[in-house]
Structure 1
Amino acid sequence: MDYQKTYTYPSTLNQTTQGASTTTPYTPQQTMPQYAPNQPYPTPPAQTPLQPVPPQILPQPVPPINFPEQSYIENILRLNKGKVGTFYFTYTDSNEWRDRVYKGVIEAAGRDHLIISDPKTGKRYLFQMIYFVWAEFDEEIQYEYPYR
């Protein structure tokens, strides 16, 4: 490729001055500074040496021992993970699935969902808590966290 050619900016094409077409030739310019072989490259100014900084010991936060856990349904269900229960759901927008009852083992519970498994088949089911009405257990349920 020949870098010595002259090029024309696209913005100057098709410009006419009194009926004649004029273009401004472009010659590439060198932007890097040139240094003579006997001239040294400039050096940065001298800096003071860095002083060692002693490590700072920051206090570590201590986790609270007896923080009050709020008794939301998902927390109570989570405390009773592994227990068999009967779960009642109401689907208000459905005539066919209006009220449903499920029996199973609590696998997990979140803010908006409940996962139970059928002990006979091992199948797991994911339910939305918005349709949850109540639960029954045949054994005592855990309500408070054990470290209280």
Structure 2
Amino acid sequence: MSQQMPYNPYVTYPYTDMYPSSSFPYQMGQQPVQPGQQQAVPMQPSGSLIPGTPLAPGQVVEESYIENILRLNRGKVITVYQTFENNTQWNAKIFRGVLETAGRDHIILSDPESGKRFLLLMVNTDYITADEHLNYIPPALPSGIR
């Protein structure tokens, strides 16, 4: 009679083949990292192309990120509509003011009447309106495409 192994729902598997080994040769320009040492990766500005990324002929580099559009409209009065999940006091809020600046994850508005400044998170932003024309530079498109 054969002996059965007891059922174990927490079976572990070795991960040795799933991760690259440190014995692989380094690519040109890379330096080996010693154990316990961290390797710094330079941050790319929002909307920029990563250096060394080849573009296929006719491929478009689009840089019309929301923060870039907002930066083109600094000084204009805008209205930002935001919602906040699981908030018992207010679920939605409207902020109106002069656009001071914007980043990848935030918008800074100032209220000209009170002088109060608002730092708003993009993650809560539903949409933005303006009473005047918004400056916008569309991304370059290949000829023949509109």
Q: Normalising by the residue count of structure 1, what TM-score does the alignment of the two structures yield?
A: 0.50
Q: Which consecutive aligned stretches of 4+ in structure 1 deviate over 2 angstroms post-superposition?
A: none
Partner of 2:55: none
Other structure's SS at 1:142 match: coil
- Residue type at the aligned position of 1:110: G
Higher RCO, Cα 8 Å, sep 6+:
2
Alignment map for 1:1-148 (pairs within 5 Å): 70-144=63-137
Partner of 2:5: none
Other structure's SS at 1:133 match: strand
State the identity as a percent.
48
Cα distance, 1:96 vs. partner?
A: 1.7
CA RMSD of the aligned region, Å? Answer: 1.7
C-alpha spacing 1:68/1:79, structure 2 compared with 1 (3 Å): farther
**Structure 1, unaligned runs of 5 or more:** 1-66
C-alpha spacing 1:81/1:69, structure 2 compared with 1 (3 Å): farther
Distance 2:105 2:129 in 1: 19
Higher percent of residues as strand: 1
Aligned pairs, number: 79
Other structure's SS at 1:70 match: coil
User: Highest Rg: 1 or 2?
Assistant: 1
Other structure's SS at 2:78 match: strand
**Structure 2, unaligned runs of 5 or more:** 1-59, 139-146
